[in-house]
Amino acid sequence: FYQVYRRFSILRFSCRVVALIVIWISNMRILITGGAGFIGSHLVDRLMEIEKNEVIVVDNYFTGSKDNLKKWMGHPRFELIRHDITEPLIIEVDQIYHLACPASPIFYKYNPVKTIKTNVIGTLNMLGLAKRVGARILLTSTSEVYGDPLEHPQNESYWGNVNPIGVRSCYDEGKRVAETLMFDYHRQHGLEIRVARIFNTYGPRMNIDDGRVVSNFIAQALRGEPLTVQSPGTQTRSFCYVSDLVDGLIRLMEGSHTGPINLGNPGEFTVLELAEKVKELVNPDVEIKMVENTPDDPRQRKPDITKAKEVLQWEPKFQLRDGLPLMEEDFRLRLGVVKK
Ligand code: NAD
Ligand code: UDP
Ligand code: UDP
């Protein structure tokens, strides 16, 4: 009996080893929705560096661009599909990074109903797809789910302070529903989910005129235009460099925690301080001009990243003074402004 038992044990162990080897050497098919955008295209770059990954991007080019992916066009492990995720998508994949959604306030407010459809119907479709093929799915949610936070810094257990009927609600409430859908599919259908709550991220390839504060200030400084600080200027944000963020997203996807997990840089700056830093670094001759703000602008924002440190062993490496010059270089090239 012992001999038979031993043989079975050896057989079982061998099968397990073979299965692990097969998983290890077989290609991983990864879908990135919104992969032609700012963060998505940096994620594509990073995932394409791994030989066994096949990357498929779906994007409707609302705020993204094929230009961001031009280095991968024609690559045998890369595919780009024009598709709007508010429509069903039938495809076979192993993992889904679900990023598709405009992130800049001027773009998400431009067509708020479409923003909600993208967050709700789009996320539902991606979850339906993940369920059918058994893929793990990661949602890029946002610090906006904390609204105008009454707790500072924000940790993941804070439920937020969001205006449900304001002009930002299409985005904040849209992402809140997207998170709810993720957790309901997880509980009801056993889906493997990952939820990242991303704080303000900046870096090369940001849309030059997309209206976000770091891209606005750098473009204004390079064009010699006044830096437009929206009043009162004492509101704070915490800025994470894009390569740090991408590292966090991949760790979250590969790890075993569903989240939600804050991903951001805890270094907190007032918008006025940011303007002064950009002025000092990029163009000391520009003036700083106070302009009117938009409704419901959160007064403060800073991530508590204790959980990310603990469960992902992740924390950002780039400080603002390291990241801004890299973004300046990219903007100079794209705007054709040479350094004096
Ligand atoms: P982005 O606007 O550069 O990229 C979004 C991409 O999604 C674009 O390529 C756009 O064309 C695509 N898209 C939009 N609607 C779509 C639709 N219906 N179907 C298919 N594609 C669609 O924004 P980003 O800064 O790269 O943000 C990516 C994700 O990260 C978003 O989900 C955003 O909410 C989240 N996020 C970003 C930040 C940040 O600071 N950048 C902060 C928090 C959360
Ligand atoms: N869906 C999709 N691709 C798939 C599977 C589903 O886009 O491969 C969409 C589907 O059209 C539906 C949504 O995902 O609108 C949710 O699918 P699910 O199977 O969870 O729900 P049901 O179709 O039963 O409403
Ligand atoms: N802001 C600013 N000038 C600009 C653009 C934005 O002062 O040209 C401010 C805005 O009022 C907000 C902060 O910068 O307080 C961050 O705005 P952004 O649109 O980049 O991102 P948000 O965190 O609001 O989504």
320 Cα to the center of ligand 1, angstroms: 22
Q: Do residues 223 and 236 make contact, with C-beta atoms less than 8 angstroms apart?
A: no
193 Cα to the center of ligand 2, angstroms: 16
Q: What CA–CA distance (Å, rounded) separates 131 from 119?
A: 18
In this structure, what token pair is assigned to residue 251? 């760790």
If pLDDT is split at 50, 70 and 90, which confidence band does 292 have? very high
- Side chain identity at 62, as an amino acid letter? F
Exactly one of 171, 185, 202, 241 is catalytic; name it: 171
Paired sense of beta strands 268-270 and 236-238, if any: antiparallel
If pLDDT is split at 50, 70 and 90, which confidence band does 14 have? confident
Residue minimizing CA distance to atom 23 of ligand 3: 200
Residue to substitute in 129, 133, 187 for testing ligand 2 pocket (most ligand atoms within 8 angstroms of CB): 129
Q: Is 129 in the pocket of ligand 2 (CB under 6 A)?
A: yes
Q: What CA–CA distance (Å, rounded) separates 121 from 115?
A: 10
Residue to substitute in 31, 96, 99, 320 for testing ligand 1 pocket (most ligand atoms within 8 angstroms of CB): 99
Residue minimizing CA distance to atom 37 of ligand 1: 103
Q: 303: cis peptide before it, omega within 30°?
A: no
pTM over 0.90: yes
pLDDT tens-digit map of 17-46: 776 666 566 789 999 999 999 999 999 999
Nearest ligand, CA of residue 87?
2
Helix residue ranges, H only, the chain: 2-25, 38-48, 105-110, 112-117, 123-133, 169-189, 213-223, 242-254, 271-282, 306-312, 320-335
Paired sense of beta strands 53-59 and 240-241, if any: unpaired
137 Cα to the center of ligand 2, angstroms: 14
Residue minimizing CA distance to atom 27 of ligand 1: 103
If pLDDT is split at 50, 70 and 90, which confidence band does 49 have? very high
Q: What CA–CA distance (Å, rounded) separates 250 from 43?
A: 8
Q: What CA–CA distance (Å, rounded) separates 143 from 97?
A: 18
pLDDT tens-digit map of 218-260: 999 999 999 999 999 999 999 999 999 999 999 999 999 999 9
Query: What pLDDT, on a 0 to 100 scale, did the predictor assign at position 23?
Result: 58
Nearest ligand, CA of residue 181?
2
139 versus 338: the higher-pLDDT residue is: 139
Residue to substitute in 197, 237, 268 for testing ligand 3 pocket (most ligand atoms within 8 angstroms of CB): 237
